[in-house]
Amino acid sequence: MKITPKVTQSFAWCICWIAGMTTIAFLIIIVGYVFVNGIGSISWEFLTTNPRGGLKGEGGILSAIAGTVYLIILTLIIALPMGIGAAIYLAEYSSNNLFTRIVRFGVESLAGIPSIVFGLFGFALFVIALGFNFSILSGSMTLACLCLPVIIRTCEEAIKTVPVTLREASLSLGATRWQTITNVVLPAAIPGIVTSIILTVGRVVEETACLYVTMGGSSNMPTSIWSNARTLSLHLYYLAMETTAINKALATGVILITIIIILNFSTRWLSNRFISLYQGNGGK
Amino acid sequence: MASIIVAGRKREFHRISDSFWQYAVYIFGASSFLILFLIALFIVREGYPAFVKIGIWQFISGTTWDVADNIYGILPMIIGTLYVTIGALIISVPLGIFTAIFLTDVAPIKLRSAMRPAIELLVGIPSVVYGLVGMLILVPIIQKFGQGSGDSILAASIVLAVMVLPTIVSITEDSILAVPRSYREGALSLGATRWQMIWHVLIPAARPGIIASIILGMGRAIGETMAMIMVIGNSIIIPDSIFSSARTLTGTLALELKYAAGLHWNALFATGVVLFVLILILNSIGLIMLHGRSK
């Protein structure tokens, strides 16, 4: 057979199909394996009892759920105002000068720093130097630093998408720049801000390395922000590495993947809605 | 009269608050850079004594990491990280590039729109879940068909390959889509087949973006921690085969940080400095390549 461009093309198409299907296969294998082997261990009792510790990893995941929720709330309280503030600067106030370049460099570099380096920093600063010990507070301070670039980028995009005409209308009515931002621009950018919140929640749920060295990992029910605690991801790690309860680790994996799927669908839904809002469909 | 005064005060209030917030957002804007600076400051401050006492070259080229004898050299971990990263890229770069071509030019529209959420899901799955699946599926297979316990560079590379795949696919896809339409039309009108157009026109035009995706994927691979700990075995040895156990730079930090003191503590932060500098350089190169393309 002669190797014509047509033959090469069919061959290349084959490789592309194989590559695409392999990528999908990875996802199906991972999600499928975790669900098939983990879903059987999920019960009401599993969700509503605390882990009892020990080598057999008995008990449920209630305190890990509580730890995750505490951490999400506290991280958002710390990071969201800072992130939105920075996004307002980048979208509304920045001009092409050295300061803006420094700000952009900061955001982009921070986004690439590995989780464990944040952990190292959080351990040295929050756990030791500031004396927060291993606690939800130390964990959420560390996570807030880690999540900041995500919030800034998403909110900046959202604020930039708000039409200039809205701003001009507000300014022409005599509103100050700040009044325009708080009363006109930010309300219009709310879907984008909500997206950034969901992305942050996702990061909190999936992060492990930086929390491993700042949160302590106690399996007790957290009572305050000073409590030593664990998240669902951390709980999965402890179950897999330090106990024989692999089925419970898989069940925790099912919960984690389900949360991530729900979060991903909500961001998709929101961004579609946001796009249609400013393309004249009135969000319908 | 009174209402005029009130209105005046109100306007005065808004004027002051306007300039107050203007300064406030400048400070918020600087926050990321400040955090970056603080991270650098803290890890360098804590790691510096190790560089002084051990010597930078001794620290980087030392082959022994022994907490009991207080000897710290990170060469085994550097090699471990290097092998795992290269292994992951060998798998994920070809796979990622062909998957990106599949998504932009080959797959039927319906399949494309179904695959994007799937790839997003791959990004979102927590790294401990990857580690767990690696532990339960890959490690036993490698133990059966290879040598050793199965906790190995091979297992870690495969897990890592899946984890960096989304980065490579999405950036490559974006840079192929960013190639001007006229390039496609030009190639096709000259009688090229669609594959010739992809291979000889689109891929070369998208090359900076593709290289950036590889570099950024590499940064992600070097920084990955928990999934690596779970499948690599963590022995501090210079690995001699893909079935050998090894340890990564990040793994050492996570495993030892909580009980470290004295020189050990400093040595861990010095490891953090090495990691920090490495990632900062890689990401800067990657981002410069990406931005160079968009201008």
The predicted pLDDT at position B295 comes to 41
Question: B118 and A117 in contact by Cβ < 8 A?
Answer: no
pLDDT tens-place string over residues A61-102 = 999 999 999 999 999 999 999 999 999 999 988 888 889 989
Is A227 a domain residue? yes
Q: Is the pLDDT of residue B259 over 90?
A: no
The predicted pLDDT at position A273 comes to 75
Rounded to an integer, the average pLDDT of B168-188 is: 93
Question: B29 and A90 in contact by Cβ < 8 A?
Answer: yes
Query: Which residues, numbered 48 to 77 in chain A, qualify as contacts with chain B under a Cβ-Cβ cut-off of 8 Å?
Result: none
Which CATH number among 3.40.50.300, 1.10.3720.10, 3.40.50.2300, 1.10.10.60 corresponds to the domain B76-294?
1.10.3720.10
Q: Is the pLDDT of residue B275 over 50?
A: yes
Q: With contacts defined as CB-CB under 8 Å, which chain A residues touch B195?
A: 5, 8-9, 12-13
The predicted pLDDT at position A283 comes to 40
Question: B98 and A20 in contact by Cβ < 8 A?
Answer: yes
Question: A237 and B42 in contact by Cβ < 8 A?
Answer: no
Q: Which residues are registered as beta bridge partners of B66? A: B71
Phi, psi of A43 (to 5 degrees): -145, 170
The predicted pLDDT at position A282 comes to 44
Domain count, chain A: 1
Of the listed ranges A51-55, A87-91, A124-128, the least confidently predicted one is A51-55
Residue of chain B with shortest Cα separation from A29: B133
Q: With contacts defined as CB-CB under 8 Å, which chain A residues touch B219?
A: 112
Query: Which residues, numbered 163 to 192 in chain A, qualify as contacts with chain B under a Cβ-Cβ cut-off of 8 Å?
Result: 176-179, 181
Is A212 a domain residue? yes
Q: How far is CA A225 from the centre of its chain?
A: 20
Is A37 a domain residue? no
Q: Is the pLDDT of residue B241 over 80?
A: yes
Q: Is the pLDDT of residue A174 over 90?
A: no
CATH number of A168's domain: 1.10.3720.10
Query: Which residues, numbered 207 to 236 in chain A, qualify as contacts with chain B under a Cβ-Cβ cut-off of 8 Å?
Result: 207-209, 212-213, 233-234, 236
How many CB pairs below 8 A link A and B?
Answer: 276
pLDDT tens-place string over residues A219-256 = 888 988 898 999 999 999 999 999 888 999 999 999 99
Is A131 a domain residue? yes
A50 in helix, strand or coil?
Answer: coil
pLDDT tens-place string over residues B26-51 = 899 888 899 999 999 999 999 999 99
Question: B28 and A85 in contact by Cβ < 8 A?
Answer: yes
CB–CB of A220/A240 below 8 Å? no
Question: B196 and A9 in contact by Cβ < 8 A?
Answer: yes
Domain positions in chain B are 76-294
Q: How many CB atoms lie within 10 A of CB A43?
A: 11
What is the model's pTM? 0.91
Q: Is the pLDDT of residue A269 over 70?
A: yes
Confidence of residue B225 (pLDDT cuts 50, 70, 90): very high
Per-chain mean pLDDT for chain A = 90
Residue B127, min C-alpha distance to chain A (Å): 7
The predicted pLDDT at position B150 comes to 86
- In which domain, by residue range, is A150 found? 65-231
Confidence of residue A278 (pLDDT cuts 50, 70, 90): low
Residue B291: CB partners within 8 Å, gap ≥ 6?
A: none
- Please tell me the distance from the alpha carbon of residue B90 to that of residue B78, in angstroms, as a whole number: 18
The predicted pLDDT at position A119 comes to 95
Confidence of residue A280 (pLDDT cuts 50, 70, 90): low
Rounded to an integer, the average pLDDT of A187-207 is: 92
Confidence of residue B294 (pLDDT cuts 50, 70, 90): very low
Q: Is the pLDDT of residue A1 over 80?
A: no
The predicted pLDDT at position B147 comes to 80
Per-chain mean pLDDT for chain B = 91
Is A4 a domain residue? no
Choose the closest CB to B121 out of A152, A178, A261: A261
Question: A34 and B254 in contact by Cβ < 8 A?
Answer: no
Residue A248, min C-alpha distance to chain B (Å): 11
Residue of chain A with shortest Cα separation from B168: A23
Q: Which pairs count as long-range contacts for A21-26, CB under 8 Å and 24+ apart, including other chains?
A: A22/B95, A22/B99, A23/B95, A23/B99, A23/B115, A23/B118, A23/B119, A23/B122, A23/B165, A23/B169, A24/B115, A24/B118, A26/B122, A26/B162, A26/B165
Span between the terminal Cα atoms of chain A, in Å:
56
Choose the closest CB to B223 out of A82, A90, A116: A116
Is A106 a domain residue? yes
CB–CB of B253/A118 below 8 Å? no
Choose the closest CB to A257 out of B35, B125, B223: B125
Is A87 a domain residue? yes
| CA dist list (Å): A205 to A139, A141, A241, B159 | 12, 15, 19, 20
Q: Is the pLDDT of residue B166 over 70?
A: yes
The reply to whether A269 touches chain B by the CB within 8 Å rule is no
Q: Which residues are registered as beta bridge partners of B71? A: B66
Confidence of residue A281 (pLDDT cuts 50, 70, 90): very low
